[in-house]
Amino acid sequence: MIVDQIEKKIQYLKKNKYQLPIKEILSQTFSLFTKTLFLGIFSVLFTSSVLVLVYQFFTSYFDLADLDGTIYQSYIVLLNTFAKGDIVKSQEALMGTRNLLFSYLSNFCVMQRFIILIFSKIIIFPLSAGVVYCAYKKDTVGLATFKDLIQNFEGRRFLNLVILGVIYYIAIAISIVFFYLPMLIFSPFLYLAGAFIAINNISLGKALKYSIQIAKINYGKMLMISLLSFVLSTIIGQLFGFMLLYALSVPYTLVMVYVVYKNILGTDIINNE
């Protein structure tokens, strides 16, 4: 049984106090990323296009453009004060932004749009896991196709990934108020759950269990990997608003998920179809 293989491997890692080889992971990720570049970029562009259309439609429908602009300007002021190193003004800007954010999130129309966007993200969440699966196929078989990219939209993989998406985005929603800190702290425990579902086709419960167990073995380095992924996909990609950079950074972080999986578990654990 595949779960027996995984559990034996995790017990072996615990016994030997496994340490993630960070440098090797970064090197292997870049190499594999270049081989799955087209599929990765396609997944990001498709996902982004859907979300932008949904966002623009409901921003116009609820007339939220001015309110969004106020929040954006508040973040710019906050970043500028931090960059200048003015501690007093930074604290004032931080409190001001936090209070404004609480008021913003309590707006009924903002919440409606937010829920619709989260629902849209959850439905297409399996496409991100598809990039992880494509990295796995390219590395083990030598070929990854469009069919591999969308294979998570069928069977129990889809249901498990959608529920994982619900958990993931609820955690993000809660973390936004605290500037993502809770999500960053707990992200190592969720890091490999999607990979277990996409690659091994196991249940969500088992995927979460194994992901948590692995994070406990090597929390420090898993946290480093999670922080790097956050910086690449969220700060560099989204904050600077450069679409090409975002389209490259997100697939890179998804390929990294597979490479971490590979370095921890190997590639000999078969798919549980």
Q: Do the Cβ atoms of 260 and 29 come closer than 8 Å?
A: no
pTM of the shown model: 0.83
> Comparing 98 with 25, which gets the higher pLDDT?
25
pLDDT given for residue 74 in this prediction = 82
Contacts of 65 (CB under 8 A, 6+ apart): 59
Helix axes 37-62, 22-35, angle to 10 degrees: 80
Start-to-end CA span in the chain (Å): 11
Least confident of 13-27, 31-45, 160-174, 225-239: 225-239
Q: Which amino acid is at 264?
A: I
pLDDT digits over 138-195, tens only?
Answer: 999 999 999 999 999 988 999 999 999 999 988 887 887 777 788 888 999 999 999 9
Per-residue pLDDT band for 98 (boundaries 50, 70, 90) equals confident
Q: Say how far apart CA 259 and CA 81 lie, in whole Å.
A: 38
Q: Indicate whether 227 pLDDT > 60.
A: yes
Q: Indicate whether 239 pLDDT > 60.
A: no
pLDDT given for residue 139 in this prediction = 96
The tokens describing 258, both together, are 């597979």
